[in-house]
Copies of this chain bind each other. A is one copy, B any other.
């Protein structure tokens, strides 16, 4: 089933807004068995929208439109759709009641503008918008070659569009086109680059059954592997994909840290909570970023005591009590200093587990012996102290991110 996405909005054509709607919609469609053939971004102009609709109709069975259905005068999509389908706006009581009750709950009065929003093209089916006041619009039109084309217009506001796509549009499309069962599982890996990972799992990948596809989704510091299975029986499919995930787990057990939408900071947080254990960090090169990741998880105050960001050597000495002689002899970026930081922080914050980092974040500041990107990580547990070093690259932002993910994954393995 071929889909074309039309995103409408001047803000997308002057570079003010990155078109994240298109990639999100494409990913959701792809995961539901629909193929996106083209994305067209056009301005809030009548003729341009009409042209894009006609071109899309000529090549796709499904046309998904986002943007320009709000209440302000530059939102002309609804009027243009009426012209394209040769229909007129009529007042829709159900749409009005939805908005009125949403406003009543929030204590607002319904305005004339909201009344206008309840007018929908006579030919369309309205699609509820749980997150906003503008309904979606679903049109169908017969193709001269037989069959029909479906057009769905949605809001451009990302969270409104996403709720409408997930809750209404994709389920309806799957019903119309009776797509086969699909099952996705994403395996999250850390600590190995894409090409090395591909080499390690090449044989397994080649042996995958024809109905299961693999996609590599690399990000700085991690690679996600998405398996997508297609089949007629949902339960059989589920078992087939899970069996392949099981084989992969045996192949690369050290690199897999989680599944689907989990994050390392959530996983580590859950493990600490289950143990009733506490965590603290002592950060130099990561400058508080690990503490930031951990505290981005709601409820992290249950297990996270806090951090000392010991950015200057004087803080390493006065707050963490590192011997100035050790720093002088080995340098701040060393096994000795990062180990001392972890053990000192464990005492100071009375924490069960501690992550400590010391490195050269770059881009400058390196030397032949200690290049930019060199990072030492120490993890203290109630029983052990683990220390490792890594040499990342020249980008400060990526070095900080990769150090943080590496450290969280080291902690996860020690908790496991």
Residues of B within 8 A of A310 (CB): 306
Contact A306 B309, CB 8 Å, known A18-B20, A36-B13, A291-B287: yes
- Taking CB atoms, residues of chain B closer than 8 Å to A362 are 298
**Complex alpha-carbon distance, A283 and B350, angstroms:** 18
Question: Is A296's CB within 8 Å of the partner chain B?
Answer: yes
Is residue A263 contacting chain B, with contact meaning CB distance below 8 A? no
**Binary contact track A270-306/B, C-beta < 8 Å → 1, others 0:** 0000000000010100111111101110101100111
CA distance A18 to B52 in the complex (A): 21
A23 touches B19 (CB 8 A): yes
Q: Is the CB of B28 within 8 A of A23?
A: no
A43 within 8 A of B: yes
Is A414 part of the binding interface, using a Cβ–Cβ cutoff of 8 Å?
no
**Assembled-state Cα–Cα distance A362/B301 (Å):** 12
User: Which residues of B have CB within 8 Å of A27?
Assistant: 14-16
- Say yes or no for A30: interface residue by CB 8 A criterion: yes
Asked whether any CB of chain B lies closer than 8 Å to the CB of A337, the reply is no
Q: Are B306 and A311 in contact (CB under 8 A)?
A: yes
- Tell me, yes or no, whether A17 is within 8 Å of chain B by CB: yes
Interface residues of A in 289-331 (CB under 8 A from B): 289-292, 294-296, 298, 300-301, 304-312, 314-315, 318-319
Contact B23 A36 (CB under 8 A): no
* From A14, A29, A43, A290, residue with most partner B Cβ within 10 Å: A14
Complex Cα spacing A16 to B348, Å: 44
Q: In the bound complex, do residue B17 and residue A23 qualify as a contact, i.e. CB atoms below 8 Å apart?
A: yes
A26 within 8 Å of B (CB atoms):
yes
Interface residues of A in 353-374 (CB under 8 A from B): 361-364
How many interface residues does chain A have, given as a range? 35 or more
Asked whether any CB of chain B lies closer than 8 Å to the CB of A41, the reply is yes
Tell me, yes or no, whether A415 is within 8 Å of chain B by CB.
no
Instruction: Say yes or no: A217 contacts B16, CB within 8 Å.
Output: yes
Which single member of B16, B24, B294, B312 contacts A215 (CB below 8 Å)?
B16
CA distance A286 to B309 in the complex (A): 13
Closest to A362 in B: B298
With A38-B40, A292-B288, A306-B312 as known contacts, state yes or no: A19 contacts B22, CB within 8 Å: yes
Contact across chains for A41 and B43 when beta carbons are under 8 A apart: no
Choose among A13, A35, A39, A362 the residue with the greatest number of B CB atoms under 10 Å from its CB: A13
Task: Say yes or no: B295 contacts A306, CB within 8 Å.
Answer: no
Docked Cα-Cα span, A306 to B35, in Å, equals 50
Chain B residue nearest to A217 in the complex (CB):
B16
Task: Identify A309's interface contact among B40, B296, B307, B318, CB under 8 A.
Answer: B307
**B309 touching A314, Cβ below 8 Å:** no
Can you list 12 A-B pairs with a CB-CB distance of less than 8 A?
A: A13-B36, A13-B39, A22-B41, A38-B40, A40-B41, A55-B55, A288-B309, A298-B396, A305-B314, A306-B308, A306-B311, A308-B319
Q: Which A residues have a C-beta under 8 Å from some C-beta of B? A: 12-20, 22-30, 35-43, 48, 52, 55, 215, 217, 281, 283, 286-292, 294-296, 298, 300-301, 304-312, 314-315, 318-319, 348-350, 361-364, 396-397, 400
What are the 5 closest A-B residue pairs judged by CB atoms, nearest first? A15-B27, A287-B295, A288-B291, A288-B288, A307-B309
